[in-house]
Amino acid sequence: MARLLLNGLLTACRRPACAEAGQAAQIRPCESVTMKAVTTKELFGYWNRLRGARAAPERSDVDPGAIRSILGDTFILEADGAAGYPFRLSGSRICAITGHEMRGEHFLSLWRGPDRATLLGALETVSDDAAVAVLGAQGTTDLGRRVDLELALLPLRHRGRTHARILGSLAPVETPYWLGACAVTRFDLSSLRMIWPSGRNRAFSDPSPEPVTPAPHALAGLGRRIGRFLVFDGGR
């Protein structure tokens, strides 16, 4: 199964030339979280069915044939924060977005400053709480072209270990004609929402350029800050 997954995900990628130079409750995302990209919806649905009553499925359970249509948009990270969460596997369309092969690259190296800290916190939450992160991002090329992207991060067990692997996807909300010909060289977060095993979700709001710290009593019991995003409790 591992070999099949490896062969399915590791499609050869070339740098494109730019023409212009535990037991978990069932999660119901449709009631609580808006997923814009088709890839995100399909991968989450597959992951949720695969895990059943478990907090997270085993890596060996993942069948690339079952997600063939979105395989090029998916990846697997090693859950190693000290190493920057390196890519174990990366789909061909992700390689086309970034302009190079991603296997072995550090996921956190794609992000800068506060966004990197936010992603690190989100990845730790995914592993610690068996939660799912759905993120909005904007990709920018060297020519200033922009594309709206959606990123999903889902926990995987590996040989019984909980802090082992992260299953993910990165896909455009709408595909511009130039994507795959011009590499995205900068990624910026725009939104983040965590889906919790209890079925509750928390939205992360992007603070203003000059954030104002609310009074402590205003934040009591509401949640916590991860990177530059403030997390609030939300209903189903």
pLDDT in the model for residue 16: 42
103: three-class secondary structure by DSSP: coil
Q: What is the mean pLDDT of each run of 10 residues along the chain (236 residues)?
A: 35 40 43 80 96 92 96 97 96 97 96 95 94 97 98 94 94 96 97 78 42 35 51 41
Residue 204 to residue 228: CA distance in whole angstroms: 9
How much is the pLDDT for 160? Answer: 82
pLDDT at 198: 59
Evaluate whether 93 touches 99 at the Cβ level (below 8 Å).
Answer: no
Contact 166, 156 (CB under 8 A): yes
**pLDDT for the residue 214:** 34
Dig out the tokens for 98 from the structure.
Answer: 């970034």
Between CA 62 and CA 82 the distance in angstroms is 26
d(Cα 230, Cα 236) in Å, to the nearest integer?
19
Provide the pLDDT for residue 34. Answer: 80
- Counting every residue, how long is the chain? 236
What confidence score (pLDDT) does residue 116 get?
A: 96
Q: What is the pLDDT of residue 139?
A: 98
| Structural domains of the chain, with CATH | 2-9+32-198 (3.30.450.20)
